[in-house]
Each structure stands twice: as C-alpha cells, then as structure tokens.
Structure 1
Amino acid sequence: MSAPTRTDAGPDPVASDLIGSGAEGGLGDQVQAWLQRVRGGEMGALPAIGGLVVLCVLFSLLSRFFLTERNFANLFNQAAPLVMLGMALVFVLLLGEIDLSAGVTGGNAMAIFVVFAANGVPWPLALLAGFVFGIAIGALIGFFVARIGIPSFVVTLGLFLGLQGLALIIIGEGGLYRIDVPELRALQNGNLPVWGGWAMLAIMIGISAATSFWDRARRTRAGVPNRPISLVWIKLGVIAVLGGVVVYFLNLDRGQSINVVQGVPIIVPVTLLILWLGTFMLDRTRFGRYIYAIGGNAEAARRAGIKVRWVKWWAFVICSGLSVVAALFSVTRVGSVDATVGRDIVLSGVAAAVVGGVSLFGGRGRLIHAAIGALVIAVITNGLGLLGLTSGINLMVTGGVLILAATVDALSRLRGNGIRT
C-alpha cells in the first residue's frame, strides 16, 4: 500500500515570496521589538546620534561658520583619521580587550615610510614597509595577549611608551619629513568630480540593496525567518535621502577665491569602502561571529570549539593594520611626519568607539557605531574651535562625554541583566 499523500499542500513558495515574507513579524512588530530592546538597555548608537544632532544644532546657532560649505567638507577630512582608528579599536574592544599602542604603531609606520622614501625607496614599497611594521606589531601584541596571557592593557601600555622612543630613533628629535607624493596627498586634499559624488551614492545604494537581498536569500535557504521587506526599502530610502543631502552640499563651491573647490572629498569613499569591508567581515563571516561570541563569553566560546587564541591574535593584527591607515589619513592631512604622530589620538579613538555605543566589556558594538562616535568628537572639536575656545576646554568636554558614554554602557548592561540601579 502506498504511503498517503497530502492533498491540502499549496504550491511551493517562489523566491520573491520568500524574499518579502516578513516571517519575523510586520513593521509594527519590529518597531515594538526595537523599543523593547532599547528599554532593556540595548541602545546601540541611539545616544550618539541624538548627541550628534544636538551638537550640530547648538553649534549652528552659536557660530555662523559651522554649517558653511567649507566647514561641512572640513568636518569629514578632520574626522577621517579618528573614524578609522575608532573602527580599528572595535575589533579588540569587542573581545573585551584594548590596544593603547594603536596610535603610536601607526605613527612609527609612517616614520618608516617617510624615511625609506627619503632615501630613494619607491613610495609604494616604502608604504608597504610601514604596513608590514604595523601588522608585525599587531602580531606581537596578539602573541603576548593570546599565547602568554598578559593583559592587553599592560602589553599595549608598554608598547605605547616604547614605540614613542622608537619613533625618536627613526626620525630624531625635532625631525620633520614632508610628504610630497601627490597620490597620497590627494587622500585628504583632493575631491571627486561633481558627477563622482552622485556615482558614489548610486554605488552605495546598489551595494546596500544587493547585500540586503543576498542576506534574505541566505536566510531563506537556511530556513530562517526574514524581517519584512519594508525595512529594506526604508533603509535604502534613508541612505538615498541622507546621502543625497550630503553629496549636494559637498558639491557646492566652497572656494574662497577665483578657484572653484567642490566635490566629495576623496577620503569619504575610501573610508566608506573600509567601513563596508570591516562590517561585512564582522556581520557575515565566521570570524566575525567568533569575535562576538568570545566577547560575550570567552570560556563558552572555547568550549564550543572556537580557537580563541587565534581569533584574538588576528583581531590585534587587524587593529594594528587599520591603525596604520588612520595614521596615513592623519599625516596626509597635515602633509608631514614627525616623531609625535599618533601619541594623542589613541585615547580619542577609544572614546570614539565608546561614545558611539561599542561596549568596553566586549561582545556588543559595530563599526558604524565607532564612526558615529568619531563624528561626535570631531563636531565637538570643530565647533569649539570655531567659537575660539581653548584646547583645554575641548579635552574637558570630550572627557566628560566619554565618562557619560561609559556610564550609559555600564548601566545598560546592568539593566539588560535585570539588575536594578
């Protein structure tokens, strides 16, 4: 006797049905779930975004120069090194670790680059030597932290002090090397053509759409419910509107003479590309999932078969490598390298990540959070500078914002664990 067959089964769903299934609930359900997570302490970058809006409104009222075309473009150039260093530190902060030497690692890499280039080495090879140095420092930190078991705070603090001495040896006290490579100077001083900014925005929307639908297709094949398709269209709409406003203002003429200066700064698409690659790594690869798992509970991750040591090792390598990129952004902005490069920026990088919503306790945060936090600090620095306030006030305000962000992080963790404060 043949096995019974179902007669009430409908036709198999086609791909388009699955892509828009919304099996995790409708848009209203998603909003309610998000509000519940916020009430539970998972605020992410929400405080930083709110602070960024408030600061922009405040400084625009206090200074008529804040929202000018010239200052608007200057903000992106000013924030780029801090954005990059903040993103670099996210990889180790997610593990519950820290790298206090990231800034001076990048500074020494730039010192090696300019000294080699000044002595006849072709600049691509000289720059490669700088990156090799940065990656080697990251591997060294990873060895001491992951293999020997020395706390990352101690290892990187020692390197923070030692690498400053190495920079003095490489460049010499009072030494200064100019960067005369046009291709590198263009990073912080060049602009895309007007059409290039709109092309960049179109590519961003296309990549975001492709990534979103690819994710949905993967979830469908794995039998995992999808969120409503309306969230994808909302995200793409936000990117299109905000990106369009930014590109429009950056394409306005901001020259102060007969020369026309307009277009999106070249540093913007370079930073966005690295942000996308890093986010893809953390969100959509096994290595990224391992980082979050270790940051959440390293012992549970080890028992689950994750090679904790190797993940930590590679996280420090990535952090040091990106710190070299941050230093490159910094020195191409000023056009020179001396022995002090990177000494002051590392703490601001940690502040950027924490202010943006990356947890100091590990396991929570994203690269975009560090970028938003860096923009907050850049707006504070830029706005206070336009008001003619001293750097001391700037440091005090930034320190206060960092303490506030760390407090919010600690309280949100207690609230998320069900502990009343």
Structure 2
Amino acid sequence: MTIIDAPRATATDLQDERLVTPQGVTDSIRAMFRRVRGGDLGMLPVVAGIVVIWAIFQSLNPTFLSSTNLVNLTFDMVPVGILALGIVCVLLVGQIDLSVGSVSGASAAITAVVMVKNEQPVWLAILAAVAGGCAIGWLYGQVLNRFGVPSFVVTLGGLLAFLGVQLWLLRGQNAINLPYDSALVKFAQLWFVPEWLAYALAVLAAGGFLAVGWARARTRRGAGLSHSSPQWLATQALLLMAGLLVAVYYLNRARGVAWMFVFFVALVLVMHYVLSRTRFGRSLYAVGGNAEASRRAGINVRRVYTSAFVMCSGLAAVGGILAASRLAAANQSTGTGDVNLNAIAAAVIGGVSLFGGRGSAIAALLGVLVIQSISSGLTLLNLDSSYRFMITGAVLLIAVGLDSVARRSRQAHGRG
C-alpha cells in the first residue's frame, strides 16, 4: 500500500496580505513598501525627520552630536516625554487633554509642600502627587461620560483650575526648593547607571526582544498563521543589541546613561506592552477607531475613556515630579509655558493619529526626541525661542498633514 504525503497546509493568513507576518529581510522590505503604498507610514516619517534634524544641526555646530550634549538631551527629554506618553493614551481613544501641563505643575507643588513644608518622607510626597493626578483623570472621565461635555472643554477648564491650585499651594512663593540631598533630586540630576550595568541592560533588552519575538512566532505557528523565522528574529536581536551597545558606549564617554532616562524608556516599553499585548490595550484602539462598534461588541466604552484619562493625568503627575526634581524646586512656572503644547506635539509628531485608533507608546519617545533635538540645536546656535516655536510648529503641521493624507490613503486601500 502506497502512502501519499498530504499537501502542506498553507497558513490561514496568507490569503490576506495585510495579515501576513514577514519571515525574513526580503519579506520585511516588501511588507514595508506595501504598507507605505497603502498609507500606513508608521514611524518612517519621524525617524527620517530625526535623521534630517540631527544632520542639519551637526553641520551647523559639531558639538550637537557630542556625547556631553546627548547626555543632556536624554535628561531634558524625560519630563515632557512622560507627559507625551499620557497624551498617547487619550489620543488613542479619540479624545484630548489640554491640562497635562497644569496637572504636572500642581503635582510638583504637592510634592514640594508635602516634602518641605510638612516634612514628610519622599515616598509619601510622590504617592500624594500621583494619587492627586489619577483623581483628576477620574474626574475628567466622569464629566465626559455622565454629562457628555467634550474632553476639549473639560480639560481646558482643568488647565485653568489646576494652574490656580498650583498657585494656591505655593501661596505667593515664587518657589519651594527641594533638598539637594533628597533622593528625588539625586535621581533627576546625579544618578547614572554603572558602565557594566548599562552594557548588561543593553544585552538584556536585546534578549528580551528575541524572547518575545520567539514566543509570538510559536503562538502564531500553533494557530496555523505565518510567523517570523528564527534566523530573522536572531538578526533583528543582534542589530538591536549592536545599536544599544554603541549608544551606551558613546554616552559613557561623557557622564553615562542617566537612571531617569532608563526609567522613562522602561515606562515606554511597559506602555507599549500594555497597548499591543493586552485586552485593555486592544480596547483603547477599538474605542478610538469606532466607539459605537466597540460598545456593540461588548466593550465598556465609558470605563475605557475613564482609564485613558486616569493614565494620562497620572503620568502627568509623574512628569511634574521629575520636572521639579530636575530643577530642585517647584515654582510658579512649572508646567506652564509651552509644556502642554510640547507634550501634545510630541505625541502627534511621533505618529499618534489625532483621529484616534492609531499610534503607539514609542511615539512619545520619538516625538519628544524631535522636539528636544530642535530645542537643543537652537540653543547651541544661540538662537532665541522664537525660532524654536516656529520650527516646532512647522514640524507639527507637517506631521498632522501626513497623518491626514495617510488616513485618506488607507481608506482608499481598504485599510481603515
């Protein structure tokens, strides 16, 4: 009796190219071109923008890409970057928060009052500030859900109200200085990762990327779907490790890698995992894409809105605490000025859609890198803030324009 081998089963998702997972270098390049043609630009514009901005400023001032300036850049990115990370959450659900700057300022004032005036431990001051921020986000969610007041109006009121709270807490003082020997100030100014540990974290990050990719490939293989090959996953991990090791080496030529920057990157990675690998994260994208369809699918839309605002205001509180720690003082200008606009601009420039339902946590990291690179470059050129505002505004306008054009292209190609 002759046994005839059964034909190999074709992966289910190969019938729709939009669902196929690239398996190698060639497949990845082809998939990238397909996405770009379909209007899914992803992070390509912001990465290209960073390369162009860095090239221009380096040509105008060779100090720009020095290790010393890049270390300062990593410090400056963190407070606004954490605020931008919160903005990502509300933009994903199709809402907006205009009060993150005021919330961060009020949280900085709470921290200073609890630490300095009431002489309480650092951990209690941080807990009080973050709890206050989360309570503000919960309040926004209730007003939006119960009364139907647009988030633009709710948070615009919050911008003014919590600026008043900040001034009231300071009670006419220009600033409340934080102790220089406190853990908060040292964390934001003086603490750096030991060289050996920085290299170990770089290797660990690459290993984590490989482990996550391998687990995802195994899950897809078990479900009969296309999956990345082990060789391609290993190549990506090696490239990532090489890039991280070079970055660590270059920063270590100056002061090194700041713990505050490591904290920010860790927050971005945790948020990226939550958004891309959890049910809650998928709910955020679903509500931002179509709230009514999400409601009919059984998603508690009101709870998702409230959660997004709580996360945004909680992260704004963390950003305010670190901003005050960076200056070793909470003052009347903390969180004011262009902080609000920079946080929103960073999220949008990083690739988060103003229309909701598209974007990632990595957008906060890339977007704030663009904004702080512009600020740092203009400072080195001794140009005043007027140029920074004009250039940042132009970059933001280009980002929103690309988002709008890409959205229409996706709809024309049936990608939503």
Q: TM-score, structure 2 length as denominator? A: 0.91
Q: Partners of 1:8 and 1:40 in 2: how far apart?
A: 39
How far 1:24 sits from its partner (Å)?
A: 4.3
Q: Partners of 1:110 and 1:395 in 2: how far apart?
A: 25
Match of residue 358 from structure 2: 364
How far 1:23 sits from its partner (Å)?
A: 7.6
The residue type equivalent to 1:398 in the other structure is T
Q: Partners of 1:218 and 1:315 in 2: how far apart?
A: 29
Q: Partners of 1:407 and 1:150 in 2: how far apart?
A: 28
Secondary structure, in 3 states, of the residue corresponding to 1:417?
helix
Moved more, 173-182 or 237-246: 173-182
Match of residue 127 from structure 2: 128
Q: Partners of 2:20 and 2:361 in 1: how far apart?
A: 28
The residue type equivalent to 2:383 in the other structure is L
Of residues 396, 402, 411, the one that matches 1:408 is 402
Structure 2 residue 307 is matched with structure 1 residue 314 = yes
Cα pair distance change 1:11/1:404, threshold 3 Å: closer
Of residues 37, 43, 50, the one that matches 2:41 is 43
Q: Is 2:23–2:227's contact at 8 Å kept on the other side of the alignment? A: no
Secondary structure, in 3 states, of the residue corresponding to 2:176?
strand
Match of residue 15 from structure 2: none
Moved more, 65-74 or 211-220: 211-220
The residue type equivalent to 1:157 in the other structure is L
Match of residue 236 from structure 2: 235
Q: TM-score, structure 1 length as denominator? A: 0.90
Structure 2 residue 330 is matched with structure 1 residue 337 = yes
Q: Partners of 1:228 and 1:86 in 2: how far apart?
A: 35
Of residues 295, 299, 303, the one that matches 1:302 is 295
**Gap runs ≥5 in structure 2:** 10-18
Runs of 4+ in 1 over 6 A off after TM superposition: none
Summarize deviations over 1:253-277 as a string: whole Å, max 9, x none.
x3xxxxxxx3211112211211111
Match of residue 16 from structure 2: none
The residue type equivalent to 1:356 in the other structure is G
Summarize deviations over 1:149-190 as a string: whole Å, max 9, x none.
211100000000111111111102343111225321232222
Secondary structure, in 3 states, of the residue corresponding to 2:412?
coil
Match of residue 350 from structure 1: 344
Secondary structure, in 3 states, of the residue corresponding to 1:177?
strand
Match of residue 257 from structure 1: none
Summarize deviations over 1:108-135 as a string: whole Å, max 9, x none.
1121111011112222112111111000
Structure 2 residue 367 is matched with structure 1 residue 373 = yes
Cα pair distance change 1:371/1:23, threshold 3 Å: closer
Q: Partners of 2:321 and 2:199 in 1: how far apart?
A: 26
Of residues 265, 272, 275, the one that matches 2:268 is 275
Q: Partners of 2:153 and 2:20 in 1: how far apart?
A: 48
Q: Partners of 1:412 and 1:320 in 2: how far apart?
A: 30
Summarize deviations over 1:173-222 as a string: whole Å, max 9, x none.
34311122532123222211111210111221122222222222333344
Match of residue 384 from structure 1: 378
Q: Partners of 1:380 and 1:42 in 2: how far apart?
A: 26
Computed over aligned residues only, the root mean square deviation of the Cα atoms, in angstroms, reads 2.0
Q: Is 1:357–1:365's contact at 8 Å kept on the other side of the alignment? A: yes
The residue type equivalent to 1:192 in the other structure is V
Q: Is 1:44–1:369's contact at 8 Å kept on the other side of the alignment? A: no
The residue type equivalent to 1:371 in the other structure is L
Q: Partners of 1:194 and 1:182 in 2: how far apart?
A: 24
Moved more, 145-154 or 211-220: 211-220
Structure 2 residue 265 is matched with structure 1 residue 264 = no
Q: Is 1:205–1:236's contact at 8 Å kept on the other side of the alignment? A: yes
How far 1:292 sits from its partner (Å)?
A: 0.6
Q: What is the aligned residue count?
A: 397
Q: Is 2:350–2:365's contact at 8 Å kept on the other side of the alignment? A: yes
Match of residue 227 from structure 2: 226
**Gap runs ≥5 in structure 1:** 1-5, 13-21, 255-261
Match of residue 146 from structure 2: 147
How far 1:230 sits from its partner (Å)?
A: 4.0
Match of residue 15 from structure 1: none
The residue type equivalent to 1:52 in the other structure is I
How far 1:235 sits from its partner (Å)?
A: 2.6
Q: Is 1:44–1:356's contact at 8 Å kept on the other side of the alignment? A: no
The residue type equivalent to 1:188 in the other structure is A
Moved more, 27-36 or 393-402: 27-36
The residue type equivalent to 2:178 in the other structure is I
Secondary structure, in 3 states, of the residue corresponding to 1:240?
helix
Q: Partners of 1:231 and 1:169 in 2: how far apart?
A: 57
How far 1:351 sits from its partner (Å)?
A: 0.4
